Amino acid sequence: MIERKIKILPDSLASKIAAGEVVQRPASVVKELLENTIDAGATKVTIIIKDGGKTFIQVIDDGCGMSEADAEIAFTRHATSKISSLEDLENIHTLGFRGEALASIAAMSQVELITRTAESDLATKIRVEGIEIKETTKTAFEKGTSVTVKNLFFNTPARRNFLKNNTTEFKHVFDVVIRVALSNPNVAIKFVSGDETVFNLKKSNIEDRVRDIFGDKAGSSLITVENESGNLRVSGFVSKPDFSRKTRVDQFLFMNGRYIISRNLNYAVHQAYENLLEKGSYPFFIIYITLDPQKVDVNVHPSKMEVKFQDERSVYHVISASVRDALAANNLVPSIHMHSGTDEVSRLGWQSNFKHTHSNFEQVDRRTGEILQASNIASLPFQKVDFTESASRPETQEPNNIDDKQNYFQIHNQYIIIPIEDAVMIIDQHAAHERIIYERTVSNFNNSHTQSQQLLFPYTLEFSAGDTALVQHLVPNLELLGFQLKIFGKNTVILEGVPTDVKPGREETILQELVDLYKENEYEQKLEPRDNLAKSFACKAAIKFGDAMNQSEMRALVDQLFKTQMPYVCPHGRPSVMKLTLGELAKRFGRSV
């Protein structure tokens, strides 16, 4: 007899090994069962769990159900009604297709299936344990399917011991249910944990579903994204910059109805925010990608959450462009909201600020102080005008008449305060000017447009050898910016002209300051050279905190600010404008409004 070291594993063991890849925790079971309900065309789904799903999971749907013959085979590995050929595999329209879920779940728990199709009067009830069908009976049941999974991992103690506490497992299940709810707004979803109904979402459209899940206030701080390019459609919602989060938790990406994980595509969204977010902040978004299933491989991993796009670059660019367009079309001034710090923490586990802090974004017409409707935002004038030019224009010609007769106030030579109809606007003078200069510089770079003023008497500047080399390296871009300079030897730069934005009296120091900040930005933020130059220059050329301004300078600044594309944040993502409403003040002073 031949002795072999290699042995074929018995079925029961092989199925447990395979099952381990699909079922890692209660949440994976819920995910698979929910996907089956969606594939079955359900319009109403109920999920009931106990102990975070460890001891009990039940998913009930009103979908197409299964005949007795189908129900008996459904628990067999690779049993699926969803594909039957290689062509089908390359053209997946369902969430499931591997025929593994029920088999895997049954291999590790005690399962009871009750299912009835529209054609039969009685339902089939099957009890399965460790892939063996223990019992098949008939019972009364509505059309649809109920799958009950008890004591997950009862026969695999190593797995069972690996599970976290009930709260953590609940949170994982919760996340799964939320994802399915977000990708299937037309399905009513009820989620019960123990004695508690966590939520009961009625059938609705996507806008209302988002509101139902995240709350009205969060819902209204979202910007709609909508774009189509060829067969690729990108839609959904992104948060206004001030609504960003400190972690990446609330980022949802769906591809053809499937929740997917893709660092790269998440980054595409993030990138669209460019300078609108501070470092360490992440946008909140829900993005739906729709494309030809043949252009994407969803069979990368048993969990089906990783996908491979045929042309990921295009997907990346369309997402990024769609989000950028959506952000640019929204010109917003955030309101100051003073909270007493008693906000209750949301039961669903979102941070308390989720529901409150950014509740009051309003789009304010700078001329009238009126709250704008989304439809007329696009008509705001966005053309750019040179700040130095308009500063010298007579006041009456300025288009900015929030209220012509209204005085602007500068406080502490730092902030500009402007009373508007039902509020005061507060503007950070440095941040505002930075934004203006930054956008102008970027646009000058893009159009190779130089705004320079020649110096009457050139300056001879001493630089370190390193800085001279850096200046040398940056010469083309510095010239585009408006510097006119010559380099002599290792330490000398002759400055003959400076950008028009440089204030009189600062000509001699601006280049060294610019170089210092450039180096700092390069080191800390790894900015791309031109963007770095634009940001560093904007910061150094902008009016400083502490510089006094007169009425016409303040008006010109404010006027220019609201002509930029993103007036409400400085190039580093910090706010430049805020609004304090009379209502908020009245509340603070205990007045009834």
**Site residues for ligand ADP per CB under 6 A:** 32, 36-37, 40, 61, 63-66, 74, 79-82, 96-103, 145
Q: How far is the CB of 147 from ligand ADP (least distance, A)?
A: 7
Q: How far is the CB of 66 from ligand ADP (least distance, A)?
A: 5
Binding mask 559-578 for Mg ion (x = CB under 5 A): --------------------
| Residue 99 binds: one of Mg ion, ligand ADP, none (C-beta under 5 to 8 A by kind) | ligand ADP
Q: How far is the CB of 94 from ligand ADP (least distance, A)?
A: 7
Contacts 24+ apart (CB under 8 A), 306-313: 306/260, 306/261, 306/262, 307/255, 307/258, 307/260, 307/262, 312/264, 312/265
What sign does the CA torsion over 47, 52, 53, 56 have?
Answer: negative
Binding mask 46-85 for Mg ion (x = CB under 5 A): ----------------------------------------
Q: How far is the CB of 63 from Mg ion (least distance, A)?
A: 12
Q: Assign 3-state DSSP to the chain and report helix, strand, coil percentages, each to 5.
A: 35, 25, 40
Count of C-beta atoms within a 10 Å radius of residue 542? 25
Residue type, 53: G
H/E stretch holding 375? helix 374-377
Q: For residue 560, give the DSSP letter.
A: H
| Residue 434 binds: one of ligand ADP, Mg ion, none (C-beta under 5 to 8 A by kind) | none
Residue type, 342: T
| Residue 359 binds: one of Mg ion, ligand ADP, none (C-beta under 5 to 8 A by kind) | none
Q: How far is the CB of 239 from ligand ADP (least distance, A)?
A: 34
Q: With H, G, I as helix, E, B as strand and everything else as coil, classify residue 414.
A: coil
Beta-ladder partners of 243:
none
- Angstrom distance (rounded) from CA 80 to CA 133: 18
| Residue 428 binds: one of ligand ADP, Mg ion, none (C-beta under 5 to 8 A by kind) | none
Site for Mg ion in 96-115 (CB under 5 A): 96, 101
| Residue 53 binds: one of Mg ion, ligand ADP, none (C-beta under 5 to 8 A by kind) | none
Q: Which is nearer to ligand ADP, 66 or 437 (CB)?
A: 66
Q: Which is nearer to ligand ADP, 20 or 458 (CB)?
A: 20
Q: With H, G, I as helix, E, B as strand and everything else as coil, classify residue 479.
A: helix
Judged by CB under 5 A, does residue 149 bind Mg ion?
no
- Angstrom distance (rounded) from CA 519 to CA 468: 12
- Angstrom distance (rounded) from CA 102 to CA 109: 11
Q: Which is nearer to ligand ADP, 180 or 510 (CB)?
A: 180
| Choices 89-97, 217-225, 377-385, 501-509 (CB under 5 A): range interacting with Mg ion | 89-97
Measured at CB, which residue is nearest to Mg ion?
Answer: 96
- Angstrom distance (rounded) from CA 65 to CA 59: 13
Burial label, 522 (beta-carbon count in 10 A; 0-12, 13-18, 19+): middle
Q: Which is nearer to Mg ion, 101 or 180 (CB)?
A: 101
Binding residues (CB under 5 A) for Mg ion: these are 36, 96, 101
